[in-house]
Structure 1
Amino acid sequence: MATRQLMLPGDIVKKSNELARAAWAVESVLEPRIVALTAARVRITDKDFQTYEIPTTEILPSGNGEDYVKLKQACRRLLTSAIDIPDKEGNGWTLYSVFSMCRHDPKRMVVQTRFDPGMKSHYLELAGRFTEYNLFEFLMLPTTYSQRLFEVLKSWDDQPERIEPMGALFKMLGVPLSMQRYPDFRRKILQPAHAYITEKTSLRYQWEPAKLQKGRGYDAIRFVFTEARQATVAKKKRAKAEEDQSAKNNRLMRMATNCAMEHHAARRQCTPKDGDDMCALCKRLVTIPKK
């Protein structure tokens, strides 16, 4: 049977940083793909999770019987497997099922999904920093490790670099014990994922092994976001600095205006001291008429 072209909506996936970095061991690219397609359909106006419909042509590369068997297996895992999110103190944790319902309608050629209600704070009640990325780019990633690493790295996109312990990365990416020696982790996961992410997406980064504890082997990975990413961070910092300076100027003008009015009412000149910006401005604002 001829391969169908994926119908890719140009949408954005948004989720909490905690969810993007959660421990989640997946077995096929279909699981993260279905979750991303569902998340892209969540709207900021939604008060609660809806039942979202996804055309099967957006999930499956072809329409043969084997693909539909894999689709059912992926949906079953999304209902039964757990996402592990540690609490902020690092001692406790919360386990979530991804979906509370998943249904395939072969006549209409759609999959209906609904997030577990416990996930509400991670998709509907986002506050402060959160992870967002282009759905089209994510759907192009061909391996589970490139999918998961892409999400994890996007959750750090406000930082010029990040050093993460390997143990934490193993949990986030669902790395089995057999691949947790650094040479295996590098060759089988980090190198291929980097190649796919830089080829299929706009995210640019470099990575290198690092040591958090002296006298031991490599126990962390240092991710360095390249010039384009650093330029974005610098732009955000400049905008914040300009906003802060504008607020400072407005505050200074209000104070100087009040000062000028007081001096004018008292019919006396303002005599600013060196470095007294407010009174220097006040002196320019008011002119005391000569008698």
Structure 2
Amino acid sequence: MEPSVTQQSNNNSVTKSNILIEASYKLTVTEQKIILYLVSQIHKDDDDFKMYSLPIQHFYELLGYRGSPKYSEMRDITRNLMRKILEIKEGKKLKQMSWISYVEYDEHSGRVYLSFDPRLKPYLLQLKKEFTTYRLKNVMELKSGYSIRIYEILKRWQFINDVEIPLDELRKMVGATDKYLEYHNFKKRVLAPAQKEIMEKTDLSFEYKEVKSGRKVVAIRFFIHERPMGEASVIPENSHETSGIDVLYSQFLSRFAERGQPLPPKEFARIVVLAQQAFGADWLDELTKMIDDIFGRTDIRKPLAFLTYVLNEKINHMEKGMDHSEGSMEKTRKAMRREKLPDWFAEYQKQFLHDIVQSATNGVYEDDEIERKRAELEARLQKYKR
């Protein structure tokens, strides 16, 4: 007897790019399970999508039905699924695409065939970085589509144990932009049931804190915990199933360690978020270049604090409508070199840099003080300009 879909899926893994995990879409719980089952059939070395198939009887079982398959019901489900759109935000680009581009029922062989939209390839195939992997079994028993989406989001950020997500963004990710518009309803219908179900049926649990602006809830901060699942939970994952962000963290951690510098996980997550804001889709390459430049200098004793400050400067310039490169400390320094500077300037600049780094190290960006020092410096330099 051929094993059931549920039995087959126990050791399968779902691997998705983090961009896809944070995409905006609305699927029913049945539609999500179909998609996730198909994703679990992708092999790590696949360079193209295949026609994924399974017995129609097992497909019916996957949908949670019993008895003989009713083809009209299944056709309605796949027809609706082909109409569903997901939105992916990459930098200033917003991409809209479908999940499934082709479905075929073969009553003679008793199988159903499905194919992903080819535009999903960058988010599901040959993933080397910025991806998340979890066991399919952790979501197959969940009864709520909101629980599935929140579980995926928590898995994406599990490596730092907590994450703060703006409420509007969270609504988009779980597909609740047009429902439960009052926060207390969203909490009652989405957050609370997901918290209970995820704790009961998966390898995670979580608490959350409401972040407010005045009396309004504007963000949710999740505190993520791994929950033992018995003997199966201690089986080592294959190396290719390690979270992409974990691999990236290990690489950066090694680079910092080579120079005798610490890189705590939460600080790493912080610079990743800042780099994504500053550079969009090119954030990894740009962040790597910045770290190369910083480690290539001898006048920066606290590279992590300096890096955090410079990234914030770039973001501030972008928000003011300026080119983010104008936030570069190196560009500012080169421009100043072209001036005929007095002897006292080097010492003043050194102290100014020290103050900036100290503010960043303390986690407090004292904008007023920095601006005062910058204005004072510019005023003193005015008479030396040609």
In the other structure, the counterpart of 1:275 is none
Offset of residue 66 of structure 1: 7.8
Q: Deviations over 1:135-191 (max 9, x none)?
A: 111111111111111112212222221111110011111114340211000101111
- Give TM-score scaled by structure 2 length: 0.55
Offset of residue 51 of structure 1: 0.5
Whole-Å separation in 2 of the counterparts to 1:152 and 1:97: 21
Give ranges in structure 2 of 5+ residues lacking alignment: 229-241, 261-386
Offset of residue 74 of structure 1: 2.4
- 1:156 aligns to 2:157 (yes or no): yes
Q: Identify if the C-alpha distance between structure 1 residues 136 and 84 changes in structure 2 by more than 3 Å, giving closer, same or farther.
A: same
Whole-Å separation in 2 of the counterparts to 1:41 and 1:169: 28
Whole-Å separation in 1 of the counterparts to 2:249 and 2:16: 26
Offset of residue 228 of structure 1: 6.1
Question: What residue identity is the alignment partner of 1:217?
Answer: K
Q: Identify if the C-alpha distance between structure 1 residues 207 and 174 changes in structure 2 by more than 3 Å, giving closer, same or farther.
A: same
Q: Is the Cα–Cα contact under 8 Å of residues 49 and 121 in structure 2 kept in the other structure?
A: yes
In the other structure, the counterpart of 2:29 is 29
Question: What residue identity is the alignment partner of 2:104?
Answer: R
Q: Deviations over 1:28-52 (max 9, x none)?
A: 2221111111111111221211111
In the other structure, the counterpart of 1:262 is none
Offset of residue 99 of structure 1: 1.0
Whole-Å separation in 1 of the counterparts to 2:69 and 2:45: 37
Q: Identify if the C-alpha distance between structure 1 residues 242 and 93 changes in structure 2 by more than 3 Å, giving closer, same or farther.
A: closer
Offset of residue 78 of structure 1: 2.5
Q: Is the Cα–Cα contact under 8 Å of residues 203 and 227 in structure 2 kept in the other structure?
A: no
Offset of residue 92 of structure 1: 2.8
Offset of residue 245 of structure 1: 8.8
- 1:226 aligns to 2:229 (yes or no): no
Whole-Å separation in 2 of the counterparts to 1:81 and 1:237: 32
Q: Is the Cα–Cα contact under 8 Å of residues 5 and 61 in structure 1 kept in the other structure?
A: no
If each structure's helix is expressed as a fraction of its own residues, which one has the higher value? Answer: 2
Whole-Å separation in 2 of the counterparts to 1:184 and 1:164: 18
Give ranges in structure 1 of 5+ residues lacking alignment: 250-291
Whole-Å separation in 2 of the counterparts to 1:156 and 1:67: 40
- 1:195 aligns to 2:190 (yes or no): no
Q: Deviations over 1:22-73 (max 9, x none)?
A: 11111x2221111111111111221211111123425232344786444322
In the other structure, the counterpart of 2:63 is 60
Deviates more, 1:57-66 or 1:151-160: 57-66
Q: Is the Cα–Cα contact under 8 Å of residues 170 and 180 in structure 1 kept in the other structure?
A: no
- 1:43 aligns to 2:46 (yes or no): no
Offset of residue 218 of structure 1: 1.0
In the other structure, the counterpart of 2:322 is none
- Give TM-score scaled by structure 1 length: 0.72
Q: Is the Cα–Cα contact under 8 Å of residues 102 and 113 in structure 1 kept in the other structure?
A: yes
Count of aligned pairs between the two proteins: 238
In the other structure, the counterpart of 2:81 is 78
State the SS of the aligned residue for 2:43.
Answer: coil
State the SS of the aligned residue for 2:96.
Answer: strand
Whole-Å separation in 2 of the counterparts to 1:237 and 1:97: 29
The percentage of counterpart residues that share the same residue type is: 27
State the SS of the aligned residue for 2:25.
Answer: coil
Question: What residue identity is the alignment partner of 2:38?
Answer: T
- 1:146 aligns to 2:147 (yes or no): yes
Whole-Å separation in 1 of the counterparts to 2:215 and 2:257: 49
